[in-house]
Amino acid sequence: MKLATFEVRTPVGPVERIGAVAEAAESEGVAAGEATLVDLTAAYAATLEAEGEPEPTDLARAHVPSEMIAFLERGDRAIDDAREALEYAAETDAERGPGGAKIRYEPGEYDLLAPLPRPNSLRDFMAIEEHVQNSMDGEIDDVWYELPVYYKGNADSVVAPGETIRWPAYSSIMDYELEIAAVIGKRGRDIAVEDAEDYIAGYTVFNDFSARDIQGKEMKGRLGPAKGKDFANGLGPYIVPASDIDVLEASMTARIDGEVWSEGTVDEMYHSFSDIIAHVSRSETLHPGDVIGSGTVGGGCGLELGTWLEDGDTVALEVEGIGTLEHTVLE
């Protein structure tokens, strides 16, 4: 199942919904934004109505909320109900739910947003040794092996799949980063490593665009990154539930204008997602909708390759089982 956040136009303005890629479109590997999406709240209401529930719409809104963080807060039950709704939509080909609510949206009838348009928080780690070696001329401080190190990103700078990224006025060196992000689905504090996987709702593709010139300058002050990262964070195109993907085995590819620049997997992580979650949650509470980046795979950015993005380049990050996250950068 591939979970999406999308926006539809209505007489009273745009409305945000959550959905899932229709089973037929998913099996055919249809590109992001070109798939049929099933509105999960409307489809679950139709499921309940078919079962004889007297108040299907109200119950569906409670069980399958139409906003992603509220959906994640419902935990495994929301995922289970979403699967039931998706299955009902596939089996019945129903077009409308209770009150005439639209169940299916075809390409052109919706705008695909980031699955978490505004995450609860955004932490990005540097957990893959090859990337660290390549980025720091092979000099890795002992602390990197002792602790999962990270920065906190700007959760208000998430950009939608397909959105154009504007080059920051203060930068002349733009870069991409090939990453996977874990999405937290359950509140927790002081989480044990052996329990940490239970707190991951799913995974998505992550690209923390980087202004390398200002990033390098500001980090000489031993803080940051800040302006080097905070202008654009790509998430998407979908969240895939953790039970639906073997994230360690998923192949990852970065293409720039169709040319392969980077490949890898997060099986290379020195600090696992479980280690990271245990570390972050020490005397600190994690919440549904928190996003945790894996860090860049080895060779997964221009900094390591000695080449940079150029004006008009299209960056496509593909993760097997999740999809392709694509953006064009413009000065």
Residue ranges in the chain assigned as alpha helix (H) = 23-27, 40-50, 56-63, 68-73, 76-92, 129-135, 142-146, 212-218, 273-280, 302-305
Total number of domains in the chain: 2
Same domain for 69 and 163, yes or no, is no
Gap between the Cα atoms of 45 and 59, Å rounded = 7
Same domain for 143 and 66 = no
Same domain, residue pair 80 and 186: no
Between CA 133 and CA 141 the distance in angstroms is: 10
Shared-domain flag, residues 175 and 220: yes
Both 185 and 290 in one domain: the answer is: yes
Nearest to 235 by CA among 3, 34, 1: 3
Are 190 and 107 members of one domain?
no
Q: What is the CATH number of the domain that holds 249?
A: 3.90.850.10
268 with 173: CB under 8 angstroms? no
List, for residues 96-117, the tens digit of each pLDDT value: 999 999 999 999 999 999 999 9
Average pLDDT over residues 28-53: 93
* pLDDT tens string 252-280: 999 999 999 999 999 999 999 999 999 99
Q: Which domain holds residue 63?
A: 3-113
User: From CA 113, how far away is CA 84, in angstroms rounded?
Assistant: 23
User: Percentage of the chain with pLDDT > 70?
Assistant: 99
Encode 246-280: b = buried (16+ Cβ within 10 Å), e = exposed.
ebeebebbbbbeeeebbbbbbebbbbbbbbbbbbb
- Looking at residue 27, its pLDDT comes to 66
Query: What values do phi and psi take at 293, rounded to 5?
Result: -80, 145
**Please, are residues 241 and 74 in contact by the beta-carbon 8 Å criterion?**
no
Domain boundary, last residue among 73, 94, 113: 113
